[in-house]
Amino acid sequence: MTLTFYKYQGTGNDFVIIDNRALIFPKDDTKLVSSLCDRRFGVGADGLILLENDPVEDFNMVYYNADGNQSTMCGNGGRCLVAFAKELGIINTETSFNAVDGLHTAKIENGQVSLQMSNVSEVQKKPNSFFLDTGSPHHVQLVENLKDFDVAKEGAKLRYGIYGASGSNINFVEQQTEDTFAVRTYERGVEDETLSCGTGVTAVAIAMHNAGNTNLNDIRIETKGGELSVRFINGVNYSDVYLTGPAVLVFKGNMEC
Domains in the chain (CATH in brackets) are 2-116+246-256 (3.10.310.10), 124-244 (3.10.310.10)
If phi over 0 gives left and psi between -120 and 50 gives alpha, with beta otherwise, what is residue 190? alpha
Q: Is 74 a catalytic residue?
A: yes
Does this model's pTM top 0.75? My answer is: yes
Which residue in 37, 74, 80, 257 is the catalytic one? 74
Q: Which DSSP state fits 152? A: H
Q: How far is CA 8 from the centre of its chain?
A: 13
Q: How many helices (H) and strands (E) does the chain have?
A: 4, 17
For the stretch 82-134, pLDDT in tens is 999 999 999 999 999 999 999 999 999 999 999 999 999 999 998 899 999 99
For the stretch 126-173, pLDDT in tens is 889 999 999 999 999 999 999 999 999 999 999 988 998 889 999 999
Kindly state the helix (H) or strand (E) to which residue 198 belongs, with its residue range.
Answer: helix 198-210
Which residue in 37, 80, 197, 257 is the catalytic one? 197
Give the residue among 13, 188, 187, 194 at the shortest CA–CA distance from 113: 13
